[in-house]
Chain A
Amino acid sequence: MRWRFLARRLLMLIVSLLVASFVIFGALYLAPGNPITALSGGRALPPASLRVLEARYHLNQPFFAQYWYWLENALHGNLGISITLQENVSSVIAARMWTTGGLVLFASLIILVFGIGSGVIAALRPGLADTSVLVSTSISAALPSFVAAIVLITVFSVKLGWFPALGNGTGFWSSVRHFTLPAIALAISSVAIVARVTRAAVREEADREHVQTAISRGIPMRQIVRRHILRNAAIPITTVSGITIASLIAVAAVVETAFSLNGLGAYLVQAAESKDLAVVQGISLVLVTAFVVINAVVDVLYAVLDPRVALGSRAQ
Chain B
Amino acid sequence: MSTAVGVPSGRVQARTRSGSLGVLRSTGFAGIASAVVIAVATVLAVFGPLVAPYNPDLPSLGQAFIGPAGGHLLGFDFEGRDVLSRLLAGAQSSMIGPLAVVVGAMVLGTLIAVVAAWRQGPADTVISSGLDILFAFPGILLAVLAAAIFGAGLTAASVALAIAYMPYVARVLRGAALRERGQPYVAALEVQGASGTSICLRHIIPNMLPLIVAQATIMFGWAMVDLAAISFLGLGVQPPTPNWGVMISENEPGILQGYPLPALAAGLCIVGVVIAFNVLGERLFEQAQRVSR
Is the A/B pair a real complex?
Answer: yes
- Mask: chain A, 244-287; 1 = CB below 8 Å from B; 0 = not: 00010111011001100000000011011101010010001001
How many positions in chain B have a CB within 8 Å of any CB in the partner chain?
Answer: 42
B residues in contact with A292, CB < 8 Å = 136
B256 interface residue (CB < 8 Å to A): yes
In residues 174-208 of chain A, which contact B (Cβ within 8 Å)?
A: none
Q: Is the CB of B136 within 8 A of A19?
A: yes
Give the contacting residue for A150; candidates B234, B235, B248; CB below 8 A: B248
B residues in contact with A27, CB < 8 Å = 145, 149
Q: Is the CB of A28 within 8 A of B256?
A: no
Closest beta carbon of chain A to B37's beta carbon, Å: 12
B49 interface residue (CB < 8 Å to A): no
How far is it, in angstroms, between the C-alpha of A251 and the C-alpha of B132 when the chains are bound?
A: 21
Contact size range, A? 35 or more
Closest 8 interchain pairs by CB?
A250-B138, A147-B267, A272-B148, A142-B275, A142-B274, A31-B149, A154-B260, A250-B140
Q: Is the CB of B274 within 8 A of A16?
A: no
A75 interface residue (CB < 8 Å to B): no
Q: Is the CB of B232 within 8 A of A257?
A: yes
How far is it, in angstroms, between the C-alpha of A169 and the C-alpha of B152 when the chains are bound?
A: 31
A138-B279, A250-B138 known; A269 and B229 CB under 8 Å? no
A154-B260, A269-B233, A273-B235 known; A253 and B144 CB under 8 Å? yes
| CB closest chain-A residue, reference B152 | A273
In the complex, the number of residue pairs spanning A and B with C-beta atoms less than 8 Å apart equals 135
How far is it, in angstroms, between the C-alpha of A141 and the C-alpha of B277 when the chains are bound?
A: 12
| CB closest chain-B residue, reference A17 | B136
Q: Is the CB of A272 within 8 A of B147?
A: yes
How far is it, in angstroms, between the C-alpha of A28 and the C-alpha of B142 when the chains are bound?
A: 12
List 19 A-B residue pairs with CB atoms under 8 Å apart, sorted by A's residue number. A15-B133, A16-B132, A16-B136, A20-B133, A24-B145, A31-B148, A138-B278, A141-B278, A142-B271, A144-B228, A146-B228, A146-B229, A146-B248, A165-B256, A253-B140, A254-B229, A257-B233, A272-B152, A284-B144
A residues in contact with B233, CB < 8 Å = 253-254, 257, 269
Closest beta carbon of chain B to A184's beta carbon, Å: 15
A residues in contact with B221, CB < 8 Å = 142
B residues in contact with A19, CB < 8 Å = 133, 136
In residues 255-293 of chain B, which contact A (Cβ within 8 Å)?
A: 255-256, 258, 260, 263-264, 267, 270-271, 274-275, 278-279
B40 interface residue (CB < 8 Å to A): no
A144-B228, A272-B235 known; A154 and B264 CB under 8 Å? yes
- Mask: chain A, 123-160; 1 = CB below 8 Å from B; 0 = not: 00000000000000011011111110011011001100
B residues in contact with A10, CB < 8 Å = none
